[in-house]
Copies of this chain bind each other. A is one copy, B any other.
Amino acid sequence: MEERVYNFSAGPACLPIEVLKQAQKDFISYGASGMNVMEMSHRSAEYQDIIDTAEADLRELLNIPDSYDVLFLQGGASMQFCMVPMNLMTKYKKIHAVNTGQWSKKAIAEAKKFGEVNVVASSEDKTFSYIPELSADMFTPDADYVHITSNNTIYGTKYTKLPPVGGLPLVSDMSSCILSEVFNVSDYALIYAGAQKNIGPAGVTIVIVRKDLVENAPEDIPTMLRYKTHADNGSMFNTPPTYAIYIAGLVFKNLKKLGGVAEMEKINKEKAAMLYEFLDNSSLFRATVSGADRSMMNVPFVTGDADLDKEFVAEAKKAGLVNLKGHRSVGGMRASIYNAMPMDGVRSLIAFMAEFEAKHK
């Protein structure tokens, strides 16, 4: 077998090797079809089964109530930054939002094109290294919804409790944490996630949205940007990103086989705890986020010396531990340890860091 690396990319990110092997096996002919899934008509019975199974497995994994639509869309989270307000910012033309990083900011900037955005809290003062304290009085009822980013890929923070939004619909960008731990879909009005972190290849975006909100969205927006267009057509109003959905489906099957999201959460907790424990005890490295808001998926860390950081990233790459460079706005390093990063990948990273630390005492 070809040599694989441990890929700590923030996204697109590593996929389970079992999924890749299965897709490789079926590359010239999927089952008895005589063709690759990407050559299949999306109107064929064979492809209908692939997308139906993917949706059913995702519903099972996240325990999604029937009162929610599950949509496979295109355009990434960035497209949701306009689709969400176009469909949902309709009555008050105002929303509340929490600013916890670059993606929150982009979502806020885009929503401002469609109405008023009340930023109730921000952690920008400390390079987004924490989740701001939120209180019920921030969320006045004169808003169409509240927007948050559940896990902040760049800064390595995550919400550990629900914002006290009262009766307001809660909308979350879960691109970098969906399927990583158990949560209650019913706590949200709409959840969106680009696939390229915990789901599958870039090019498919999953939207889980309350059916009543889909029904009540305005009719005069562009056809492709209306959730109802896609909900009414089982995500096949036009040709969906068929292959990306197929790979996502394989990831769902693989996760079910592993025991589902609860089991994955245990593994993720263990992986993250191991890495944070090392960082907290290191004399050379330190995590940039402290306390309860630490992400289980994205772990930024620094040595405090930019040149040494650079050396670490370069040496790690030589050792087969790749994409560890941090985002320029935080600097240093970042290890993204999504569902598909094996425990052994985290162990190898820690062993390498210990070795590097010993060398640079």
Contacts and interface: CB of A to CB of B under 8 A. Distances in A.
Nearest to A175: B239
B12 A42 contact: yes
Given A4-B34, A39-B7, A82 B239 contact: no
B222 A82 contact: yes
A307 interface: no
A35 B320 CA distance: 11
Nearest to A31: B2
Chain B CB within 10 A, most for which of A12, A17, A40, A220: A12
A276 interface: no
B24 A2 contact: no
B239 A202 contact: yes
A36 interface: yes
A156 interface: no
A204 B242 CA distance: 11
Given A78-B238, A81-B223, A242-B202, A4 B29 contact: yes
A249 interface: no
Contact of A77 (B2, B7, B238): B238
Contact of A39 (B13, B39, B113): B13
A165 B225 CA distance: 31
A9 interface: yes
A9 B41 contact: yes
A44 B325 CA distance: 11
Interface in A67-85: 74-79, 81-82
B35 A222 contact: no
A1 B25 CA distance: 11
B9 A225 contact: no
A33 B6 CA distance: 11
Interface string A19-47: 01101100111000111101111101000
A249 to B, nearest CB: 14
30 contacts: A1-B28, A3-B29, A4-B29, A9-B39, A9-B40, A12-B38, A12-B41, A12-B42, A12-B242, A13-B39, A14-B35, A34-B320, A34-B322, A38-B200, A74-B74, A74-B203, A76-B239, A79-B224, A81-B223, A82-B222, A82-B225, A110-B222, A113-B220, A202-B239, A202-B243, A203-B203, A203-B243, A241-B244, A243-B243, A243-B244
Interface of A: 1-5, 7, 9-15, 17, 20-21, 23-24, 27-29, 33-36, 38-42, 44, 74-79, 81-82, 86, 110, 113, 194, 196, 200-204, 220, 222-225, 237-244, 247, 320, 322-323
